[in-house]
């Protein structure tokens, strides 16, 4: 009993440590008191939401999804429909139903409804896609992403097509984004230690044995896929309110690959890897952005050429994965006693 309590205490410490790291990031932004740095930290919290959302499905199921950013798009546009002033919507998006055209919701209920909308869409898509496995499932998720992008890029009366949808209320406060990141970390942790999460990871590691023991693998994947869709929709809604404008191409290949890269670099089978991958890569990206703009050193200004940021990020990722194929955390969880330590749900 004592040993079991010790293991449980260690795994419970994981979300506490991760939230502590994110809290430190928020406090640093408050101390710096810089508008651009404040936006950078907001971007980090949004990326945490997105990458943890990817972890909920990819990390627990072992199925690589290239389509989850599609749910981010759904969430972003849903909150835009609910929060843009009605006169602007009637001019720019006249094809929306009257109940939505006349709606003007506050920030909090709008992002919740946007997340639910994305989750319902994930449930519908998942009913079909989760019967597939391996590379077939991954290609199907990419097809889903392309489908969502094409619909939103051409449905002019409802989404504005490729035009920018403006007028979304902007929220510059760090705390709503930080709180959402905290909540998502807790949700991902609770799912990982739940009966459904344990069943899905057993199917990930030994699919034949799991099926033989009575686990309904498509059903468990669908649960994770839907929950992941809710989280990705929330991330999209937060993104929309952080910049005040959305376009379909914002939520396509670029965001897909940077989010997947952060998950892989951190360690795709661990919650700690999802969070640390975001924090570490975001820090490197921000440092390179500063050098692109020019950093005064002594009596001179050190500047790197534009575009070198992408090259440097690629090199960093290659080096990390050469020496840590399982990611920086080796798919293990952060715990109080020793780091990294194999937690209750950490992989080898």
pLDDT in tens, 213-264: 899 999 999 999 999 999 999 999 999 999 999 999 999 999 999 999 999 9
Residue 172 to residue 194: CA distance in whole angstroms: 35
Which structural domain range is residue 261 located in?
Answer: 2-323
Read off the pLDDT of residues 117-162 as tens digits, 9 standing for 90 and up: 999 999 999 999 998 988 999 999 999 999 999 999 999 999 999 9
**Residue 112: partners with Cβ closer than 8 Å, 6 or more residues away:** 234
DSSP per position, 84-148: S-HHHHHHH-TTS-HHHHT----HHHHHHHHHHHHHHHHHHHHHHHTT--HHHHHHHHHHHHHHH
DSSP per position, 149-211: HHHHHH-HHHH-TTS-EE-PPP---HHHHHHHHHHHHHHHHHHHTSHHHHHHHHHHH-HHHHH
Domain assignment present for 342: no
Q: Is it the case that residue 296 has pLDDT exceeding 90? A: no
- Answer whether 94's CB lies under 8 Å from 160's CB: no
Where residue 286 falls among pLDDT bands split at 50, 70, 90? confident
Q: Please report, to the nearest 10 degrees, the dihedral formed by the alpha carbons of residues 344, 256, 121, 146 taken in order.
A: -140
- Rg, C-alpha atoms of the chain: 21
Q: What is this structure's pTM?
A: 0.91
When divided into structural domains, the chain yields a total of 1
Domain assignment present for 336: no
The helix/strand/coil state of 341 is: strand
Residue 82 to residue 90: CA distance in whole angstroms: 12
CB count, 10 Å around CB of 28? 11
Average pLDDT over the chain, rounded to an integer: 90
* Least confidently predicted of 19-28, 63-72, 281-290: 281-290
The residue ranking higher by pLDDT, 9 or 180, is: 180
Hey, what are 197's tokens? Answer: 């999460």
The residue ranking higher by pLDDT, 5 or 318, is: 318
CB under 8 Å, gap of 24 or more: what pairs does 37-41 form? 38/172, 38/174, 39/172, 39/242, 40/282, 40/286, 41/174
Domain assignment present for 334: no
- Answer whether 79's CB lies under 8 Å from 240's CB: yes
**CA-closest candidate to residue 328, choices 284, 279, 267:** 267
CATH of the domain at 255: 1.10.3470
Domain assignment present for 131: yes
**CA-closest candidate to residue 129, choices 149, 155, 147, 154:** 147
Read off the pLDDT of residues 40-65 as tens digits, 9 standing for 90 and up: 999 999 999 999 999 999 999 999 99
Residue 322 to residue 120: CA distance in whole angstroms: 39
Domain assignment present for 346: no
Span 67-82, average pLDDT: 98
DSSP per position, 272-324: HHHHHHHHHHHHHHHHHHHHHH-EEETTEEE---TTHHHHHHHHHHHHHHHH-
pLDDT value for 339: 44
Burial of 243 (0-12, 13-18, 19+ CB in 10 A): middle
pLDDT value for 311: 82
35-56 b/e with 16+ CB inside 10 Å = b?
Answer: eeebebbbbbbbbbbbbbbbbb
**CA-closest candidate to residue 200, choices 130, 258, 147, 248:** 130
pLDDT value for 41: 96
Domain assignment present for 335: no
The residue ranking higher by pLDDT, 311 or 119, is: 119
Residue 167 to residue 262: CA distance in whole angstroms: 31
Q: Is it the case that residue 341 has pLDDT exceeding 70? A: no
Residue 49 to residue 61: CA distance in whole angstroms: 18
Domain assignment present for 345: no
Domain assignment present for 221: yes
Read off the pLDDT of residues 10-36 as tens digits, 9 standing for 90 and up: 467 899 999 999 999 999 999 988 888
């Amino acid at each position: 009993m004592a040993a079991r309590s010790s293991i449980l205490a260690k795994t419970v410490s994981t979300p506490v440590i991760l939230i502590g790291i994110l809290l430190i990031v928020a406090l640093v932004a408050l101390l710096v008191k810089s508008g651009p740095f404040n936006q950078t930290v907001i971007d980090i919290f949004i990326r945490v939401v997105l990458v943890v959302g990817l972890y909920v499905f990819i990390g627990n199921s072992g199925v690589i999804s290239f389509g989850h950013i599609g749910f981010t798009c759904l969430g972003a546009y849903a909150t835009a429909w609910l929060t843009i002033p009605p006169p602007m919507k009637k001019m720019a998006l006249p094809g929306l139903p009257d109940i939505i055209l006349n709606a003007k919701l506050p920030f909090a209920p709008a992002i919740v409804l946007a997340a639910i909308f994305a989750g319902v869409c994930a449930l519908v898509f998942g009913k079909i896609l989760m019967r597939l496995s391996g590379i077939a499932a991954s290609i199907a998720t990419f097809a889903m992403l392309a489908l969502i992008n094409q619909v939103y890029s051409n449905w002019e009366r409802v989404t504005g097509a490729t035009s920018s949808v403006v007028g979304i209320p902007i929220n510059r406060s760090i705390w709503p984004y930080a709180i959402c990141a905290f909540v998502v970390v807790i949700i991902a942790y609770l799912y990982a230690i739940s009966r459904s999460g344990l069943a899905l990871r057993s199917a990930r590691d030994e699919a034949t044995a799991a099926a033989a023991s009575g686990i309904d693998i498509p059903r468990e994947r669908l649960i994770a896929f839907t929950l992941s869709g809710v989280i990705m929709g929330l991330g999209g809604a937060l993104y929309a309110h952080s910049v005040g404008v959305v376009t379909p191409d914002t939520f396509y290949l670029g965001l897909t690959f940077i989010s997947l890269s952060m998950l892989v670099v951190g360690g795709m089978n661990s919650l700690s890897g999802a969070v640390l991958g975001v924090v570490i890569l975001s820090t490197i990206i921000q440092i390179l952005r500063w050098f692109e703009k020019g950093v005064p050193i002594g009596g001179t200004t050190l500047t790197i050429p534009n575009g070198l940021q992408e090259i440097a990020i690629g090199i960093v990722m290659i080096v990390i994965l050469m020496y840590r194929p399982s990611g920086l955390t080796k798919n293990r969880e952060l715990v109080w006693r020793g780091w990294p330590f194999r937690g209750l749900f950490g992989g080898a």
